[in-house]
Amino acid sequence: MDITLTDIERQTYKQTPIHNLDGRTKLAISIIIIIYSVWLSPLEFSNLYKLGTLELYLIVLMVLARLNPVYVLLRLLVTLPFGTSIIVLQPFVRHSFLDQATYYPVDLPFGLAVTYEGLLFGGLLFAKFLVCVSAIILLSSTTSMNEMVAAARRLGIPAEFTLLLTMMVRYLFLFWIFLKRIRTAQKVRLFHIWNRKVPRKWILRQIAYTISSLFIRSYEQGERTYISMLCRGYKGNSVYLRKERLRVQDYTFVTIAAGLLIVMQLYG
């Protein structure tokens, strides 16, 4: 099962209590959850319960949003190599911020030693990684890209930054089509990245050509777009956003999420 940008965007158009929330609410709560998770001490065992509670809360929201479990799992598995590659090393590392370390009586090759503090640090790091990725998956699966950019602008993000995000969202799918065309042309010519009969140096050169081609196309497209914007009277002002008030369900969602974080911090 392949997940494309179109599949991710299509998920955001469902009609569920989570999808129908204001984009500002979902974006703000996601950012708060990520900041809170990262802020937790990396060497307190009780924080595992807090992070576990947050992950359970996010899973409940995913169920309310009627997200496909296979879809969520595949997106999670794609990100795991980026985090686990660092996490698996933590039990064998003597961290500089620790005054002392408790070693497990385990004989390992190459002089490696496992510490209790390293295992705890690695476990908490994995839990934080899982919560942050889950929050991002939930946000991106229930909020369209345009709505996310508009929500960021309404929350006070600088106009220059949101303008860049707007342009990225508008042309992200276009460059995805460019990449698919290039990959189709390569397949027609029997190019396969894992072909063992072809020298690896030649394959790497073809990948570099693909990346450079996309870079040149993006530069040319950006130049054409900017010139057309100037011809239409663009002077650096931001896109107009109509005012929208938060509804009762938005305040309820924020109250529940904030209450959960406060209760965990006070009694966790």
pLDDT digits (tens, 9 = 90+) for 63-84: 999 988 888 888 888 888 877 7
Contact 17, 249 (CB under 8 A): yes
H-only helix segments in 232-247: none
Contact 159, 238 (CB under 8 A): yes
Name residue 103's beta-bridge partners.
115
Section 187-193 average pLDDT: 80
More confident residue, 201 or 9: 201
pLDDT-derived band at 34 (thresholds 50, 70, 90) equals very high
Cα–Cα distance between 139 and 133 in angstroms, integer? 10
Percentage of the chain exceeding pLDDT 90: 21
Which pLDDT does position 170 carry in this prediction? 72
Nearest in space to 61 (alpha carbons), one of 26, 87, 92 = 26
pTM for this prediction: 0.76
Break the chain into its structural domains and give their ranges: 5-143+245-267, 159-231
Rg for the chain (alpha carbons), in Å?
23
pLDDT-derived band at 10 (thresholds 50, 70, 90) equals confident
Which pLDDT does position 95 carry in this prediction? 67
pLDDT-derived band at 57 (thresholds 50, 70, 90) equals very high
Which pLDDT does position 36 carry in this prediction? 93
CB count within 10 Å of CB 173 equals 14
Averaged pLDDT score across all residues of the chain: 81
pLDDT at 96 over 70: no
Section 145-170 average pLDDT: 78
Instruction: Look up residue 115 and give its DSSP letter.
Output: B
pLDDT-derived band at 252 (thresholds 50, 70, 90) equals very high
Which pLDDT does position 30 carry in this prediction? 92
Cα–Cα distance between 206 and 108 in angstroms, integer? 42
Cα–Cα distance between 79 and 181 in angstroms, integer? 25
pLDDT-derived band at 110 (thresholds 50, 70, 90) equals low
Contact 6, 131 (CB under 8 A): no
Tokens 């229930």 belong to which residue?
142
Find which of 54-58, 164-168, 205-209 is predicted with most confidence, using mean pLDDT.
54-58
CB count within 10 Å of CB 264 equals 19
